[in-house]
A = this chain, B = another copy of it.
Amino acid sequence: MAKDKKLVEAITSMDVDFAQWYTDVVKKAELCDYASVKGCMVIKPDGYAIWENIQAELDRRFKAAGVQNVYMPIFIPESLLQKEKDHVEGFAPEVAWVTHGGLEPLQERMCVRPTSETLFCDFYAKDIHSYRDLPRVYNQWCSVVRWEKTTRPFLRSREFLWQEGHTAHATAEEAEERTIQMLNIYADFCEEVLAIPVIRGQKTDKEKFAGAESTYTIEALMHDGKALQSGTSHNFGDGFAKAFGIQYAAKDNSLQYVHQTSWGVSTRLIGAIIMAHGDDNGLVLPPRIAPTQVIVVPVQQQKAGVLEKAYELRDVLSGFRVKVDDTDKSPGWKFSECEMRGIPVRVEIGPRDIENGKAVLVRRDTHEKIEVSLDEIAAKVGELLETIQKDMLERARAHRDSHTYSADNYEDFVKTIEEKPGFVKAMWCGDRACEDKIKEDTGATSRCMPFAQEQISDRCVCCGKPAKKMVYWGRAY
């Protein structure tokens, strides 16, 4: 038992130091490790398996929405990056520059892509000729590089994995529709698969993507009351099309500029899963995304028939992602370990259980123990996984809702942000100056102008001028 305790004690409690708790979980649950390259990650098997499940489920939803996958080069020549003014200003300060190929200096330096708008635009300018070529709804799964100064595993790193969709449309309406459609796919995915409720809304001009006409976002609330931007979808209008000369011949033979969008989610979602669901025993994974959904832990496995029964249960449960822990560690150690790794359901099976034709199911999320008959274990495990998935979403939603406040005057607003971690809903006049002042006074930023608007008052919470929008404010990752 001393050994088991040690494993658990090694995690900092989230109430004591949330940042350290996060780092401990990432490390002890073996999701990722630091690399010799500063600010970059080694994503380990358990972390990568979560990413593979995210990819598989999102890619299925993308394809059902008419998305086609492609692959663009990893490098962007400097002249190409500079074609759209706002875009280059946003990204040039944080890219990695390649200056030599083999033993020779390059004629023009290239950056490693921080995002690929410029490459897609360059391609579309050559590839799109007529209205028959539209829409183009392309996506790529790849890694991108942004030379961040401070980094945290999954949340902010110099290299991360993501998907980036880039589309071209004949009309502004169609582009706007696609922008919203993809945001909703992200939101539904987060809620249905990751059990993370999100606020859907639009970014203010200050917070929007470099070069976009409008940026939409999904914002989730973490355990510590900080917001995490979890996915974004941008409508570029025809700005990039004009900068890159992407035109098509319409049905009436007139030359028109295309309207474009881009949208992406990244390995940051793994950070969201950790911080939305984890507890002081480690990771807690929603069943639909868990690489291992069920782990069978034999108790007194040296006794005749125990291991055999464990393997038999694995076969009975083969409709789920199931494993047997048949290592020579103690059961207590194994229990701690599968809690740390966040496996949704643990099946405990020992000689007494076998005698009684029963096993014990243990929920990772609530630690509840449920005795089940071996005859009906597959059905029971299936129901339990569904229940856990549902309960986790509800619990996260309850946490989010109980940490969402509203304020109709600046004193209340500042006090709430200072004292109560979470979202604060408040009215805004639409001026950048108020956003800047709020940031300076409280550290909070406008997270989004939610699609579901409420009328909290008719005045801006900051300057008292007539309000234009209700905004979610919060401190963010």
Query: Chain A residues in contact with chain B, CB under 8 A?
Result: 33, 35-37, 40-45, 48-49, 51-52, 68-77, 80, 93-103, 110, 112, 119, 122-123, 126-127, 138, 142-143, 145, 147, 158-159, 161
CA distance A72 to B48 in the complex (A): 10
Contact of A41 among B43, B73, B94, B112 (CB under 8 A): B73
In the complex, what residues of B have CB within 8 A of residue A77's CB?
36-37
Closest partner residue, chain B, to A43 (CB atom): B71
Complex Cα distance A41/B74, Å?
10
Cα A74 to Cα B126 in complex, Å, equals 29
Q: Report the minimum CB–CB distance from A322 to chain B (whole Å).
A: 15
What are the 6 tightest A-B residue pairs by CB atom distance, in nearest-first order? Answer: A40-B73, A45-B68, A43-B71, A101-B147, A97-B100, A102-B147
In Å, the complex CA distance between A72 and B41 comes to: 7
> How many copies of the chain does the oligomer comprise?
2
B161 touches A35 (CB 8 A): no
Q: How far is the CA of A152 from the CA of B244 in the complex (A)?
A: 27
Cα separation A37 to B80 with both chains bound (whole Å): 10
> Is the beta-carbon distance between A74 and B42 smaller than 8 angstroms?
no
Is B101 touching A98 in the complex (CB atoms < 8 A)? Answer: no
Judge whether A103 and B93 touch: CB under 8 Å. Answer: yes
Name the contact of A112 in the complex, choosing from B43, B69, B74, B93 (C-beta under 8 A).
B74
Q: What are 25 A-B pairs with beta-carbon distances under 8 A?
A: A35-B73, A36-B77, A36-B122, A37-B73, A37-B76, A37-B110, A40-B73, A40-B75, A42-B70, A42-B71, A42-B73, A42-B119, A48-B68, A48-B70, A51-B71, A52-B69, A74-B112, A74-B145, A74-B159, A75-B159, A95-B102, A96-B101, A98-B99, A99-B100, A112-B112
User: How long is the Cα–Cα vector from A42 to B120 in the complex, in angstroms?
Assistant: 9
Contact of A70 among B44, B110, B142 (CB under 8 A): B44
A36-B96 contact, Cβ under 8 Å, with A143-B74, A161-B71: no
A102 touching B98, Cβ below 8 Å: no
Residue among A49, A75, A93, A103 with the highest chain B CB neighbour number at 10 A = A75
Measured between alpha carbons, how far is A69 from B161 in the docked complex, in Å?
Answer: 14
Closest to A126 in B: B33
Asked if B93 and A37 make an inter-chain contact with CB atoms under 8 angstroms apart, the answer reads no
Determine which of B33, B69, B74, B98 lies in contact with A49 in the assembled complex, contact meaning CB atoms within 8 Å.
B69
User: Could you say which of B42, B102, B119, B158 contacts A35, with CB atoms under 8 Å apart?
Assistant: B119
Instruction: Give chain B nearest CB distance to A412 CB in angstroms.
Output: 40
User: Of all chain B residues, which has the CB nearest A142?
Assistant: B143
A112–B262 alpha-carbon span in the complex (Å): 26
Query: Who on chain B is nearest to A157 by CB?
Result: B73
The complex places the Cα of A45 from the Cα of B71 at a distance, in Å, of 8
Check if B45 sits within 8 Å of A138, measured CB to CB. yes
Bound-state CA distance A68–B49 (Å) is: 8
Q: Given A142-B143, A159-B74: A123 and B45 within 8 A (CB)?
A: no
User: In the docked arrangement, what's the CA distance between A98 and B101, Å?
Assistant: 9
